[in-house]
Amino acid sequence: MADYFTIVRTLSAPRELVFDALTTPEHFAVWFGTAGVEVPQESLTMDVRPGGAFRAVMLLPDGNRIDWAGEYQAVDRPAHLAMTLTDQPGDDVGLPVLFDLEEVEAGTKLTISQDRSDFTDEQVAATIAGYNAFIDDIEGVLARLQSA
């Protein structure tokens, strides 16, 4: 049985816009790396449909890189997205990461859920911190989109 951990944040934007920020390469490249990591847009493959491929490269400040791979398993715009995601392409990707978007009075409640798998408590805490950094940058993308 899956043991999911979740991150829940409310974003002050309509969920259609939040969904677009999650699934459009030009926006994804901004938030997936956060401020300290480059994700070249030309490294992205985002075939956002069930069975569609996901690929991205993160270029780290220390000169290292992380190759990400996955597959979109469910796409229900603008309410739900499920995708596998691994930094070990070729290995078992495990259960999908779930992105659920709910309209709320203040905007959109974004819930990200990921299977704990064999993560240690420290790895779960680091992953949660990483997702929160992603969401911080998503907020910046959304602010720019709404002011345009």
Comparing CA positions, the residue from 57, 83, 59 lying closest to residue 72 is 83
Domain 4-147: give its CATH code.
Answer: 3.30.530.20
Whole-structure pTM over 0.85, yes or no?
yes
Count the neighbouring beta carbons within 10 Å of the beta carbon of residue 141: 22
d(CA 23, CA 129): 21
- Poorest-pLDDT segment among 35-44, 82-91, 136-145: 82-91
Is residue 131 classed as helix, strand or coil in its secondary structure? helix
Count the neighbouring beta carbons within 10 Å of the beta carbon of residue 49: 10
d(CA 50, CA 40): 24
Average pLDDT over residues 114-120: 89
pLDDT recorded at residue 132: 94
**Type of residue at 55:** R
Q: Are strands 4-11 and 80-83 parallel, antiparallel or unpaired?
A: unpaired
Count the neighbouring beta carbons within 10 Å of the beta carbon of residue 122: 8
Average pLDDT over residues 111-135: 92
Residue spans per domain, the chain: 4-147
Is pLDDT of 138 > 90?
A: yes
pLDDT recorded at residue 1: 60
d(CA 17, CA 126): 27
d(CA 83, CA 99): 9
